[in-house]
């Protein structure tokens, strides 16, 4: 059985002669490449499992002819479409059929990256050294001196030199098989047929990416007879685009992709979800800090752990059944050594997650205290690292409670400077009574559930933070 449709229904509704003729010009190489590809698909017995990606160019209508799954792609994107299909549907044999403008000009990035990725797709590249569909303009593969609609005086150095795609692709690590073939005589047609079949077979066997460049005839735009065009390809093109195998690796079949997993337990595990309810320790919302929505800011430099501490506060609040949000500063700002976090803890719903005027500020260093201290609301609280900040700056409202605790010193004494953010949380708890101690400790334990060995150290850090504030240690 032929892999061509019995009747080309998509070609002018299959009416009349078009029902069984291609739209290609007389003598065009596309028809031959189509025939050899169709034969390969038939001989390999993969008609039902083949998807052909048609490009933009003269072969835009390849889907008129091949009785396989068909997708028509945007100009230059056929390889990307083919790859997207192959990765989603690994069992399908996906063939990207493209011309020179499509593959070697507008789609060069997609072509090269798909080749280097090496997933087993088959790319059939028709190089006829000219743009066909748009009417004879210069192609990336046009020859030096070749006169085209956009190089009327002949391609010159100013237009750049012809792209040797087979060599370029063969130079990449991804492809397993690359060959350049031609159609101008019986011997080369036989080789072309063999190469196309082999390229498809590479995919069927899951051995890898294969690329066949076919030097083809475009009599129309070369303004030559089909016979003269065959001669032109042989005499003019072949010296620039040498025929033959460019790469043929003996690679064992490797392409095997599992079917996607839809096991609910796996899904929940991936999402980090658990059905174990967190214990609650809070009796009521800490209205003494704000009746509905407590706004906090944590500010320090990169290694201070402000973001982690912010996250723990949000986690703790949510465990208690409140709403909470945390917004980090990010991007270059965060790379510049500063790290700010805005946290809200709301009784019902956080309305505005930013903290331009916090109820509570935790400052890990002097610049942070200087920058944000004055933004704290009247009657608010500031907790700062007294081992780093020596003088409390001006501009803080006198009604604000300012509490220092030696976060860093305590952490260093405990042997791990990184726990200073947990010391800070202890200090925060003691200074504000935001939540019961257990609420924050439970969140710390939850966060460290995969690193249990660190829990005692963190608990100790927290306790020292509390103690420092309670005892007024500076």
Binding segment (CB under 8 A) for other proteins, from list 46-54, 144-152, 246-254, 431-439: 46-54
- Cβ 415 to other proteins, closest distance in Å? 29
Q: Which of 41, 57, 59, 86 binds other proteins (CB under 8 A)?
A: 86
Helix pair angle (420-432, 437-447), 10° resolution: 160
Note whether 255 binds other proteins by CB under 8 A: no
- Cβ 196 to other proteins, closest distance in Å? 12
- Cα 425 off chain centre by: 37
User: Among residue numbers 390 through 449, which ones bind other proteins (CB under 8 A)?
Assistant: none
CB 148 within 8 A of CB 142: yes
| Partner whose footprint covers residue 128, from other proteins, ligand SF4, none (CB < 5 to 8 Å by kind) | ligand SF4
Note whether 249 binds other proteins by CB under 8 A: no
Tokens 């061509």 — which residue?
A: 4
> What does 183-228 look like in DSSP terms, one character per residue?
-SSHHHHHHHHHHHHHHHHHHHTT---EEEEEE---HHHHTS-HHH
| H/E run at residue 430 | helix 420-432
User: Among residue numbers 25 through 44, which ones bind other proteins (CB under 8 A)?
Assistant: 25-32, 34-35, 38
In the complex with other proteins, the residue whose CB is nearer, 161 or 375, is 375
Alpha-carbon separation of residue 22 from 8, 53, 70, 458 (angstroms)? 8, 17, 17, 75
| Partner whose footprint covers residue 297, from ligand SF4, other proteins, none (CB < 5 to 8 Å by kind) | none
Tell me the site size for other proteins, rule CB under 8 A. Answer: 117
Note whether 102 binds other proteins by CB under 8 A: no
CB 248 within 8 A of CB 176: yes
Note whether 93 binds other proteins by CB under 8 A: yes
Note whether 381 binds other proteins by CB under 8 A: no
In the complex with ligand SF4, the residue whose CB is nearer, 169 or 218, is 218
With 0-12 / 13-18 / 19 or more C-beta atoms within 10 angstroms meaning exposed / middle / buried, residue 304 is buried
Binding segment (CB under 8 A) for other proteins, from list 77-85, 236-244, 297-305, 368-376: 77-85
User: Among residue numbers 332 through 361, which ones bind other proteins (CB under 8 A)?
Assistant: 332, 350-354, 356-357
- Cβ 4 to other proteins, closest distance in Å? 5
User: Among residue numbers 118 through 157, which ones bind other proteins (CB under 8 A)?
Assistant: none
DSSP 8-state secondary structure symbol assigned to residue 305: -
Note whether 373 binds other proteins by CB under 8 A: no
- Cβ 226 to ligand SF4, closest distance in Å? 7
Tokens 């700010």 — which residue?
A: 340
In the complex with ligand SF4, the residue whose CB is nearer, 38 or 296, is 38
In the complex with ligand SF4, the residue whose CB is nearer, 77 or 221, is 221
CB 56 within 8 A of CB 206: no
User: Among residue numbers 285 through 304, which ones bind other proteins (CB under 8 A)?
Assistant: 293
| Partner whose footprint covers residue 324, from ligand SF4, other proteins, none (CB < 5 to 8 Å by kind) | other proteins
Q: Which residues bind ligand SF4 (CB under 6 A)?
A: 24-25, 28, 30, 58, 128, 132, 218-221
| Partner whose footprint covers residue 132, from other proteins, ligand SF4, none (CB < 5 to 8 Å by kind) | ligand SF4
- Cα 54 off chain centre by: 25
CB 393 within 8 A of CB 373: yes
Distance separating alpha carbons of residues 322 and 307, to the nearest angstrom: 20
Distance separating alpha carbons of residues 111 and 428, to the nearest angstrom: 57
Helix and strand numbers (H, E) in the chain are 17, 13
Distance separating alpha carbons of residues 455 and 459, to the nearest angstrom: 6
Q: Which of 45, 152, 239, 258 binds other proteins (CB under 8 A)?
A: 258
- Cβ 250 to other proteins, closest distance in Å? 27
């Amino acid at each position: 059985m032929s892999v061509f449709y019995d009747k080309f229904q998509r070609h002018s509704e299959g009416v009349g002669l078009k029902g069984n003729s291609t739209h290609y010009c007389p003598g065009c190489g596309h028809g031959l490449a189509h025939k050899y590809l169709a034969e390969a698909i038939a001989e390999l017995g993969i008609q039902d499992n083949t998807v052909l990606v048609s490009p933009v160019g003269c072969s835009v209508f390849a889907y008129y002819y091949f009785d396989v799954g068909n997708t028509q792609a945007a100009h230059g994107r056929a390889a990307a479409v083919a790859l997207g299909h192959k990765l989603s549907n690994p069992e399908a044999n996906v063939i990207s059929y493209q011309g020179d403008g499509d593959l070697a000009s507008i789609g060069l990035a997609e072509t090269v990256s798909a080749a280097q990725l090496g997933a087993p797709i088959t790319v059939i590249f028709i190089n006829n050294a000219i743009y066909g569909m748009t009417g004879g303009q210069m192609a990336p593969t046009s020859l030096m001196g070749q006169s085209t609609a956009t190089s009327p005086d002949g391609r010159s150095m100013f237009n750049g030199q012809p792209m040797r795609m087979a060599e370029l692709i063969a130079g990449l690590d991804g492809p397993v098989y690359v060959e350049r073939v031609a159609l101008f005589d019986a011997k080369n047609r036989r080789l072309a047929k063999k190469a196309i079949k082999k390229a498809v077979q590479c995919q069927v066997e899951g051995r890898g990416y294969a690329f066949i460049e076919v030097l083809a005839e475009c009599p129309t735009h070369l303004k030559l007879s089909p016979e003269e065009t065959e001669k032109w390809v042989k005499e003019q093109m072949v010296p620039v685009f040498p025929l033959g195998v460019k790469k043929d690796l003996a690679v064992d079949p490797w392409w095997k992709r599992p079917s996607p997993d839809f096991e609910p337990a796996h899904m929940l595990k991936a999402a980090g979800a658990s059905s174990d309810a967190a214990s609650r320790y809070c009796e009521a919302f800490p209205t003494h800090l704000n009746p509905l929505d407590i706004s906090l800011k944590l500010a320090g430099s990169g290694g201070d752990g402000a973001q982690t501490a912010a996250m723990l506060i949000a986690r703790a609040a949510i465990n208690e059944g409140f709403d909470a949000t945390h917004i980090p500063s990010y991007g270059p700002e965060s790379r510049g050594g500063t790290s700010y976090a805005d946290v809200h803890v709301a009784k019902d719903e956080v309305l505005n997650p930013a903290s331009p005027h916090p109820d509570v500020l935790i400052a890990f260093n002097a610049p942070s205290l200087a920058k944000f201290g004055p933004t704290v609301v009247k009657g608010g609280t500031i907790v700062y690292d007294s081992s780093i900040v020596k003088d409390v700056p001006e501009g803080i409202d006198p009604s604000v409670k300012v509490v220092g605790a030696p976060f860093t010193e305590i952490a260093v004494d405990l042997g791990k400077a990184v726990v200073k953010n947990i010391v800070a949380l202890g200090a925060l708890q003691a200074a504000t009574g935001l939540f019961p101690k257990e609420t924050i400790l439970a969140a710390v334990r939850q966060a460290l559930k995969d690193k249990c060995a660190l829990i005692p150290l963190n608990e100790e850090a927290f306790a020292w933070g509390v103690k420092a504030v309670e005892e007024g240690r500076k």
